[in-house]
Amino acid sequence: MDRKPDEATEAAWIGLSRAQRVATASIEARLKAAGLPPLSWYDALWELERAGDAGLRPFELERALLFEQYNLSRLADRLEKAGLVERRAVEADRRGQMIAITPAGRDLRRRMWAVYAPAIQAAVGDRLSAGEAATLAALLKKLV
């Protein structure tokens, strides 16, 4: 490894940056226009909702979201302050905690999805055929 990228690789990298920036900006703009919090809140709430009532350990959520440890710690602070999650002590490991979504968290996640879903459709779905979207998803998966 560690040579220079060829043209296609460079184009793919630049495209990745720009496409992500454009799509994210348009989706975030819709959320903001609807008076809703940013995507990172959605991602966290969704992981927690899928995790069920027991919740997740911060380090699990951190890995699921590809967040830095300190960023997750602070996101959890904000979510907790907003009443969307609660932190619970975990008896098996007194260093740790569980973060669990609250009913208010579930409700907000649902309301965010009502805006987020059409925003994804506008930013991605409307610009690709079904086959193209599937191909794109498969190729992007190889980068993770």
Residue numbers at the binding site for its own copies (CB under 8 A):
1-6, 8-25, 66, 117-118, 120-128, 130-137, 139-144
Quick one: what does residue 88 bind among DNA, its own copies, none, with the CB cut-off 5 to 8 Å set by partner type?
A: none
Whichever of 34 and 133 has its CB closer to DNA, that residue is: 34
Question: Least distance (Å) from DNA to the CB of residue 68?
Answer: 5
Identify the CA nearest to 115 among candidates 51, 39, 18.
39
What number of residues does the chain have?
144
Work out what residue 120 binds among its own copies, DNA, none; the CB cut-off runs from 5 to 8 Å by kind: its own copies
| Residue 6 interaction partner, one of DNA, its own copies, none, beta carbon < 5-8 Å per kind | its own copies
**Between 22 and 54, whose beta carbon lies closer to its own copies?**
22
**Rounded Cα distance, 42 and 117, in Å:** 12
Residue 90 or 115: which CB sits closer to its own copies?
A: 115
Torsion of CA 36, 39, 42, 46, to 10 degrees: 160
Backbone angles phi, psi at 28, to 5 degrees: -60, -35
Give CA–CA dist 60/56, Å, rounded: 6
